[in-house]
Chain A
Amino acid sequence: AQSVTQLDSHVSVSEGTPVLLRCNYSSSYSPSLFWYVQHPNKGLQLLLKYTSAATLVKGINGFEAEFKKSETSFHLTKPSAHMSDAAEYFCVVSAPYGGSQGNLIFGKGTKLSVKP
């Protein structure tokens, strides 16, 4: 069965400093992994996805994530935080090719605060 664990419920950074949001996954298949962002009163938006191609994945708004199979991790990073990055971030795992589950499994989310 697939699952994701987001290691921090809340991360606070200063504007211009690096961002690290941590995610560990568990999957009995070769996983597809995603990061989604949710701004207040807005729909979930895909930041980036990993689907067994390059292990370093670049997404929108300067975010990137590295798939590390040995550590079962898929941490999200950004070199320099911007005030507009303040939002809730979700790490998501999916079984490719359908498998026995065709759904997306969400982590509990990490709320990112950015201080001026």
Chain B
Amino acid sequence: SAVISQKPSRDICQRGTSLTIQCQVDSQVTMMFWYRQQPGQSLTLIATANQGSEATYESGFVIDKFPISRPNLTFSTLTVSNMSPEDSSIYLCSVYRAGYTFGSGTRLTVV
């Protein structure tokens, strides 16, 4: 399976600011997935990032709020923009290689 490095592991941010989360994979992958896990909840897909094209967003998630970059086949970023306390969650990236593998997540707290 793939090894995923995600940064930062946690952050506390002021409302109205933005945070960019980085996801680095140890091998080239076609698609990278970004999930949100709200406190005590399950995982919900935010968007799918394919290298060289615009990310595909799930219902309820928009590009202005969660812009995604995918500059190459091993790296992606997710930005959480204009944050509010409701954005406090764990954000996870995932790739498929012999099964879907997840990063360790970014625990975001917005105050």
**A and B are partners in one complex rather than unrelated chains:** no
Q: What residues make up the interface of B, taking CB atoms closer than 8 Å to A?
A: none
